[in-house]
Each structure stands twice: as structure tokens, then as C-alpha cells.
A and B are shown apart, each in its own frame.
Chain A
Amino acid sequence: MTDTVSNATTGMRTSQRMLAHAWAFKEMKFALGVFLFLIVLAAVGPVIIPASAIDMNVGLRFLPPIFFEGGQWPHIFGTDQLGRDLFLRSLIGLRNALMLSVVAVICMFVLGCGLGIYAGYKGGWIDTVIMRITDVQMSIPVIILAITVLGMSRPTPFSIIMVLVIASWPVYARVARSVALAEKEKEHIRAARIIGAGDLRIMLRHMAPQILPPIAFVAVLDIARMMIFEAIFGFIGIGIQPPTPTFGTIISSGTQYLLNSWWITVAPGVLLAVTLTSLNLVGGVLERSRNHVLQGGR
């Protein structure tokens, strides 16, 4: 009983309890640590590694990773078919993938949650129209949309982000709408309306802070999902174009040399998988904490 009262009266309580609960997991600290380390590595690595990601070096072709026989410093991941350092290329790929995914997730979060809250709060025909658009959007497979749009002209980071946002905002809209529907009947919203607060103010100041934190974990998981999409796009050839390295293009180019130079495909993938695992662990723990807190746990 006290729980509902405290929820209604204090704004940020739920999200604070959620974070506190999540922080108690040792997995959370570990995963967050790994992720931050990788971010620093992706930001600093390309600057300090004494190699070029683009220039070819025929003498150093097909060097295996440093832990294997024939490996050479500083080529930790070895080199590819053109003698370029794979570790450096992977880090640049990681940096680009991270930036692209974070921007895409922020855009889809703002767009989706905005429209979702608006639909849930307004109701009526606005609600119907927005929800039918999400129905239609969710029935179009991402890959069909992506190849149709990106396969035509030379894909740019902007167009890739646009495709990802268009394909993924409906999920946020759905979730935000369903929470907004329940939220708008609560007393503090009705009270605000009686005082004379405008629609925009109610949605931004009173509803958004209540609604958004519990669905923030979806955004964390989605950063990882967008990075996978970015890699898939690169693999199919509709991602950021060469010579800029991306995980997808590196992995795809390595498939031709799989038998003798497996590391061209494997090594960048390991870096990507480690990054994604740390992100997904953070998201997974946040999700658990959300469920725990929303179910009235301490």
C-alpha cells in the first residue's frame, strides 16, 4: 500500500530504486567496466596504434594473430589479405558502429516514445492512426526495407540511421503508449490538468519522467541490436562503404580466405561479440531490476 503512495508522490523513485537494484549485481559492474574499457579503446586505439587502416602493405599479408606462430607486434589480431592491421580496423569498425547505433537508438527512442505518449494521452483518432502505422511498419521486414532503400544509392551513415529508426520506432511507440494509457488516469496527472497545465507540459513534465526510465533498458539492448544490423548491412554490402572498415565488410571479405586465414573473419567478430555481450548483460540486468522493482520488491 505504501508503495503505490510513494510511487504517486515522488517522481524519480522507481528509476532510482531500479538503478540501485541493478548496481547490486556484480555482473552489472563487470559488464559496465568491460563496456567502458572497450569504448575508451575504440576512441583512443585508432590514434595510438602505429599502423594504417587503409594503406596496403603487401609484405605483411595474412599475418596470424599475435598469440599464434608467425604473429608480429603490433598486429594483435593479425593482418588481412591486403596487409592491413585487423585490430586497428576492428577498433575503427567498433567506433563507427557504436556511434551509429547510439545515434539511431536516441532517435528511435525520442520519436517512438514521443508518438507513443502522444497517442496514449490523446486517444481517439490520433491514437488509432499512430497505432495502425505501427502495425503496418512492423509487418515490413527490416531487411526488405533496408536493401530497397540502401541498395540503390551509395549508403551513408545518415541513410543507414534513417532506415534503422524507421524500422524500429514502432516498438517504443507501442510500449510508451500502453504505459501512458495507464498513467494518464492517475491522480497526479488529473491534478495537473485541473490546475490548468497544458497538454505538452503534462506529457513532458509529468508523464515522460514516469514512463521512460522503466523502458530505458530496451534502449540499451537496442544499441546492441543496431550494431548487429549495422554488421549485417556491411556483410550484404549495403553498409558504410569501403575503404572505411566496418565489421560486416571485414567479416565478409574474410570468407574468401577462410581455410588458411580464418582470423580475418574470426578476430573482428570476437571483438564485436565481446562488446555486444557486455552491452546485453547491462541491458539484461536492468530489465531484471525493472521487473523486480515494478513488482513491488525493495
Chain B
Amino acid sequence: MRSGAPQGASEHLLLGPFYRLIGMAFAIEFFVRRILQGAVIVFLVSFVIFALLRVVSGDPVRIILGPMASSAAIEETAEQLGLRDPIPIQYGRFVAGVVQGDFGHSFIRGVQGGSTGGSQDSEGLDTDNRAPVFDLIMTALPYTAILAGGGVFLALLIALPIGIFAGRNSGRWPDRFALYVSSLFISLPNIWIGVVLIFLFSTKAGWLPAIGYEGLAYAILPAIVIAIEISPVLIRAISVSVSDNLRAPYFALGLVRGLSSNYMFRAHVLRNSAVPLMNLFGAQVIGMLLGGLFVVEYIFSYPGIGLLTINAIFQRDFPIVQAISILAAVALVLINMFVDFFSSLIDRRLKF
């Protein structure tokens, strides 16, 4: 908490520009500091994943070449992929590639799509025929974006009315209703509710398609599962922050000054309540969303980043896992940075 310019200072007749300049300097310092911290985190995360894959996981070459390959062929391919070098050297090579925007090629997947695992010539493998990781991610990313966007949208659709209603009636039945709904929703395991929804709406009723992706309708059921998973956290946060704001001195003060309760609510309470909600998005919801996407995409065979990752880990397709871990860490760092920045813009009481 740093005290920047006094409140309303930027409107000051003479000193206004001066304070605005200070504000800018703080913003720049904030971003530089956070980007540097973030870079360190991303670097460490990528190294941990990189080392973990190579130390704990099995030998990917066995999967690339299939069970029939001779051990000479396996050694040759491993040499060719650089998998027999010491881990720091491999990591250095990897980072050098990433810095130039090259995330490497998949071990398994061919350019044409589809897996080439086990079917490759034991003569060795042809680098040109393996799909670049970057392309694989870019193909999968839009699907995941649709699913994530739809899931968060549905979650807010559920959580906003319930949460606000509960917050305005703290201690009465809407509050209890919110407790019941969130306790129930958080207790429905995504693997189970996913299969149950497939059974009810797809297998039984035939209303919605469920497996794979051939159109927007395929995203509906998975998005519902995501929404059920993250809405309890949102309901809780919204109701707590709304009821806290209603109890804050400024609310009573507004009423004393003759502003209507509804006006105060619309103009101030909702705005101030948005800050904890945004912080929550940075701290918890993005993490839950990420975890949820992996599992939900797996259940529904939805061709996004999550399915790509899970299959890649099972197939020991290191380059894909490494790239996605880095991107996930970068996304978390950036989102947290912007959340902290914008919450200080919305609520002037917080200074970054």
C-alpha cells in the first residue's frame, strides 16, 4: 500500500498535471516491478516442469518408436532429440528456442494431425513431419477460449443474482439459499456431473451433442460443468462483499445525505463490491478454471488446450507440456498483474 496522489488531486487547478505525472510514474514502476517478478516465476515454473518431466516421467522415445523398436534405434533417436544430454543443457537449448519464439516440435503428432506414435520408421524420425507445438496450441486455443468464456459467463449468470440478493438480505433466507446452492454446487464432482449431463441431455433426450466439437452447441454442456464448478466461489465472494459494503460507513452516510438506498446501491455498492470479485478472479477463479478445463475437456473429448495437455502428458510429449505450462504461468502472472492494477483504479482507496 503506497500513498500516491491525494484523492481528487488530478482535478487540482495548478498541481493537477503534476499529480497525474506522479500517478504515471507509479504505474510504470508497478508494471516494471511486476513484470520482472513474473519473469522470474515463469522461468522457475518452466524449469521445474522441464526437470520433472525428464526425471520422473518415462522415456518418450519408447512411445515415439513403438514397442518393436530396437534399442539401437531408440538410442539413436534419443540422441537426435537431445534427450541424453544433461538436463541444464537441454533446458538452455529449450530457453534459447523459446526466446526466439520457437517452442519446438511435438514428439508424437504429425503435421497432418493425428498421432504418429509407435508407427514411425525405426530408421529414426523425420523432424519436418512433426507438428510445431506453437501451431498445435494455436489450433486448440480458440476452442478453450470459447469454453472458458462460456463457462465464466454462465457462472456469473448464476452467481450475480444469487450473490447480490444474499448480500442485501444478510442473515435471512436468501443468504441461507446462497449457502445451500454454493455448498451443493461445489459438491458435484466435475467428472460425475459431466457424465450425468451427457446421460440426461445427450444420450437420453438427444437435445445436445456432447463428445468432440463440430459447432458451438458442443460447448454448451462442458460450459455448464465449468459454471457449476466455479459459481460457488463467486456466490460467496459477491454476497460477502455486498453485505460488507452495505455495512460500511459510507453507505449510511449517503442515506443521511438524502440519497436513496437503491441509488447508493447502484452507484457505489456494486462498484466497490467488484474489487474483491476481481481479486478473486486473479487469485482463485483462474486457477480453478484452468484445472476445470483440463478435466472437463477430457470428459467431453473437447479438442482444446486441456485435452491436448492431458494426452501429451500421457504420451510423454514433452515439448507440448513444457510450452503449455509456460503459457499457463504467463497467463496467471499477467492476469494477476492487471487485476491488481485495475482494482486500484476502480477503488481509489487502494493504492498499488
Contacts and interface: CB of A to CB of B under 8 A. Distances in A.
- Residue picked from A144, A152, A247, most chain B C-beta under 10 Å: A144
8 contacts: A139-B329, A144-B294, A147-B314, A148-B49, A232-B191, A266-B196, A273-B192, A280-B183
Contact of A139 (B57, B188, B196, B332): B332
Given A136-B45, A140-B45, A265-B199, A281 B192 contact: no
A200 interface: no
B140 interface: no
A276 B189 contact: yes
A240 to B, nearest CB: 15
B44 interface: yes
A27 B176 contact: yes
A139 B45 contact: yes
Contact of A266 (B188, B199, B290, B310): B199
B187 A251 contact: no
B287 A140 contact: no
B108 to A, nearest CB: 15
Contact of B295 (A143, A259, A273, A277): A143
- Residue picked from A27, A139, A288, most chain B C-beta under 10 Å: A139
Nearest to A140: B45
B57 A284 contact: no
B77 interface: no
Interface of B: 40-42, 44-45, 48-49, 52-53, 56-58, 176, 179-180, 182-184, 186-193, 195-196, 198-199, 203, 236, 240, 287, 290-291, 294-295, 298-299, 309-310, 313-314, 321, 324-325, 328-329, 332-333
Q: Chain A: interface residue count, which band?
A: 35 or more
Contacts of B56: 148-149, 152
A90 to B, nearest CB: 12
A259 B205 CA distance: 11
Interface in A213-264: 224, 228, 231-232, 235-236, 247-248, 251-252, 254-255, 258-259, 262
Contacts of B298: 236
A280 B324 CA distance: 32
B215 to A, nearest CB: 22
A139 B57 CA distance: 20
B132 to A, nearest CB: 21
A284 B195 contact: no
A224 to B, nearest CB: 7
A280 B313 contact: no
Contacts of B191: 231-232, 235, 248, 251-252
A269 B192 contact: yes
Interface string A276-292: 11011100110110010
A138 interface: yes
Contact of A136 (B41, B179, B198, B328): B41
A275 B187 CA distance: 8
A74 interface: no
Contacts of A277: 183-184, 187
Contact of A141 (B176, B193, B236, B291): B291
Contact of B57 (A135, A152, A248): A152
Contacts, number: 136
Given A140-B45, A258-B199, A266-B199, A148 B183 contact: no
A236 B310 contact: yes
Closest 5 CB pairs of A and B: A276-B187, A269-B192, A277-B187, A280-B183, A235-B191
Given A139-B41, A139-B328, A273-B188, A144 B313 contact: yes
A148 B325 CA distance: 12
A11 interface: no
Contact of A258 (B40, B189, B198): B198
A39 interface: no
A251 B52 CA distance: 30
A280 B333 CA distance: 30
Given A147-B314, A273-B189, A284-B182, A139 B321 contact: no
A150 to B, nearest CB: 9
A142 interface: yes
A141 B294 contact: yes
A167 B182 CA distance: 24
Nearest to A238: B314
B189 A269 contact: yes
B325 A144 contact: yes
A272 interface: yes
A147 B40 CA distance: 25
Contact of A140 (B40, B48, B182, B193): B48
B179 A255 contact: no
B43 to A, nearest CB: 9
A276 B325 CA distance: 30
B233 to A, nearest CB: 11
A274 to B, nearest CB: 8
Given A143-B310, A152-B57, A254 B203 contact: no
A222 to B, nearest CB: 12
Given A148-B49, A148-B57, 13 more contacts: A132-B41, A138-B287, A141-B291, A141-B328, A144-B49, A144-B309, A144-B313, A232-B189, A232-B190, A280-B187, A281-B183, A284-B183, A285-B179
Contacts of B180: 281
B203 A140 contact: no
A224 B186 contact: yes
B313 A148 contact: yes
Interface in A142-169: 142-145, 147-149, 151-152
Given A144-B309, A152-B57, A265 B187 contact: no
